[in-house]
Amino acid sequence: MATARIDMRLEEAIKLKAEKASALLGYKSLTEYVVRLMDERSTEVIAQHGSMVADNDVFDMFWNACNKTIKPTKALADANQFAKEHGFK
Amino acid sequence: MIWENEFVELDKTIHERKSFDCGKEELNNFLQTRATNHMQAGVSRTFLLPSKDNLPDGKTSICAFYTIAGATVERSTLPRSLAKKLPHYPVPVLLIGQLAVHISCTGQGLGKITLIEALKRLAQINEHMPAYAVIVDCLDEEAEGFYQKYGFVELCRINGRARMYLPMRTVLELFQDN
């Protein structure tokens, strides 16, 4: 597996706290602890970012709407026409 | 500002981000400090409408912009009785994360043009990566009213802000005769 380096500066107090937490969790080094934290937190953030959960009844309405052909509103059709008239193809 | 008639992808070497002002700090800040990072990290892509005039440093001002990304929507729980009718997996959607017009270009219909151009691009993406709907995140009530006018319906609220959707079928029908 390819590896990469990160050089980072941080407050002394944060480093000491992290070393304590790393020791309590039984990691062999601060690097191992930081890498594990980064990996887990990054996975969480990425998953949350693009994922939306809707209440059951709202999701069902959403799903039904997505499977029907609902005509664009007049305002939307007019906006499309307006864009065309202004040279947007 | 006089605008071009084509939206292009943000390029910080060409487009002047610092002077962009849509009157909403959060959107200005996104364009100025986060949009490029998000593009580099593969989180979202930002497209903008450049001004026709060049600035003294050779860069062009930004008249309007929008940001798009992929996302999914899922049901909070899936009852057994409906399990056959409803999807068991998160449903793919396309997201318009941000959309804004420079204050010096407002009152000329550029907001609706930007929305149409964003929807057009999402309809093209849908050809390769099918999605069920276009989702928008509304910064405030003004944005909510704007999207509602064009047929978007509320999906949910996150921290008081509306998240709305327009079915992709509606978008495709809109551009059928274009």
Interface test with B, best of A80, A81, A86, A89 (most B CBs within 10 A): A80
Of A58, A70, A82, the CB nearest to B109: A82
A27-63 pLDDT, tens digit each: 999 999 999 999 999 988 887 788 888 888 888 899 9
Distance from CA of B107 to the nearest CA of A (A): 14
Cross-strand bridge partners of residue B135: B95, B165
Domains of chain B: residue spans and CATH:
8-174 (3.40.630.30)
Q: How far apart are CA A19 and CA B73, in angstroms?
A: 39
| Contact status of B6 with chain A (Cβ, < 8 Å) | yes
Single pTM value for the model: 0.87
Q: How far apart are CA B162 and CA B157, in angstroms?
A: 5
- B167, A77: Cβ pair inside 8 Å? no
Residue of chain A with shortest Cα separation from B149: A75
Contacts of A49 (CB under 8 A, 6+ apart): B43, B71
User: Is pLDDT above 70 for A12?
Assistant: yes
Query: Low-confidence residues of chain B, pLDDT below 70?
Result: 78-86, 88
B119-140 pLDDT, tens digit each: 999 999 999 999 999 999 999 9
- At B131, phi and psi to the nearest 5? -135, 155
Domain ranges of chain A: 12-85
Query: What average pLDDT does the segment A59-69 reach?
Result: 89
DSSP-based three-state secondary structure for B64: strand
Q: Which residue has the tokens 């793919």?
A: B92
Of A50, A55, A79, the CB nearest to B115: A79
- A56, B76: Cβ pair inside 8 Å? yes
Q: How many CB pairs under 8 A join A and B?
A: 122
Chain B residue numbers touching A72 (CB-CB < 8 A)? 151, 170-171, 173-174
